[in-house]
Structure 1
């Protein structure tokens, strides 16, 4: 009962963050499961893989739920989605296959380093907080597709959904936070679907996992977090709709700092 309540609470929080900041759940699910899974008979060498795989599976449901919620409010710029999604899907496929060949500790360190880079670059580039005008300035389609491939590769490898790259990139392109966040949710879907499939497949080759695991997806955590997400997503969408753009961007950066500190000092 304790674990059920805990997973539900995590689900509400991840659902809220998914709709508010485009986080598919990885920034909460991965650190929390990294702490819990060793006590749930998951071998230490596979803890990070299971945390990432479960995060990706949760991301599918949260991304769909958040996308529907934001679309109803007219926040999503679908022409940008169509330009970026194919490249993200290709990169996600490559990242998902390579993830099984990288050790759990290496994945953890990559996750931390990537988060630090994202925070530092966002703080240095003051345009992340201050958008000077409302004219969208996207790169040409070729550059956008190549960037999408890199986003898909890194996001699937680390199980973070891609929002930490997508949102800073879209802010540089002069998008408001509400539009950048809204796009991050459907653009996380290729990463989530391909990453989950590869996590299940490669995890099924590991003999040491407990029976509640489907490959690298821990089913009780997945169910509890997903159910909680249906409570958190509509709340997060309503809050995001009313947040001033500058405050919105500052909260986003502050949240990234909290998560990376949690992973560093574990």
Structure 2
């Protein structure tokens, strides 16, 4: 996969970062697997590490340009952010020592279970009275004060997200929505939560060497493919800047269904990549 194709897919990661809270992980993993197919089973390990760097930069930029009034919903979430970081470090370490096929199987299985959960369990597609849409103004209001996410969820979310390279948004966005946030707020808040996971995961992925892959790929630093990450980020960052300045108005229910549909597309992509 050449740089032009990666740049184009980077544009898509910018859209998913703003609209769905995916800092690039779900899009980047199958793409980097394709780009590094010559590495065989190790391609998924490189993909999850590269995904962490893409998510780190995208999530940091998206958080920086998010209105402060939105981010105040995370006030008092210090313990949650700290445990997300601890989990992210643990997941990144596990990726370095686990068999390559485990991450690929885990990615496929987790996305499939998430799709089933969002379809069948109330609270995401069918909110329990938390979100109301005004047909006249196309605005969203919350009927009750959203609940904070329990800090205890931080470590497992961070570990799974870093191990699979998914960034955490696939867990935090549904959790935030079920806690009472509309989709536009849940997806925005997913970025700083992803940032907490991606920072330690990226640091661990960039340091050290990998005996299997490092000598076979000139663009690798640690387990990170800098060529792929750079092209993806070059496409994503301008899109994030534009969409944060002028976010599209999407009805809440359509937004939720679009999130679910994107998960389905990613599941097919990673299956084909494998």
Specify if TM > 0.5: yes
Q: Give 1:1-266 correspondences, 5 Å limit.
A: 3-39=2-38, 43-71=39-67, 74-76=69-71, 77-79=73-75, 81-131=77-127, 132-133=129-130, 134=142, 135-138=144-147, 144-206=150-212, 207-237=214-244, 240-266=247-273
Over the aligned positions, Cα root-mean-square deviation in angstroms equals 2.0
Aligned residue for 1:179, secondary structure, equals helix
**CA offset digits 1:34-74 (Å, max 9, x no partner):** 112124xxx213111111111111111100111122226x4
Name the CA distance, whole Å, in 2 between partners of 1:168 and 1:102: 28
Q: Equivalents in 2 of 1:118, 1:191: separation in Å?
A: 19
Contact 1:204 1:214 in 2 (8 A): no
Map Cα deviations across residues 119-155 of structure 1 (whole Å, 9 max, x no partner): 111111232023313213426x7xx111111110100
- Report which stretch shifted further, 152-161 or 208-217: 208-217
**Greater helix proportion:** 1
Task: Supply the distance in 1 between the matched residues of 2:211 and 2:2 (Cα, whole angstroms).
Answer: 27
Query: Unaligned regions of 5+ residues in structure 1, if any?
Result: none
C-alpha contact 1:100 1:202 (8 A) present in aligned 2: no
Write the deviation string for residues 173-223 of structure 1: whole angstroms up to 9, x where unpaired: 111111111110011112111111111225445453422110111111111
Measured in 2, the distance between the counterparts of 1:243 and 1:67 equals 20
Which segments of 5 or more consecutive residues in structure 2 lack a partner in the other structure? 131-141
TM-score normalised by L of structure 1: 0.90
> Aligned partners of 1:253, 1:238: CA distance in 2, in Å?
25
Moved over 6 A (4+): none
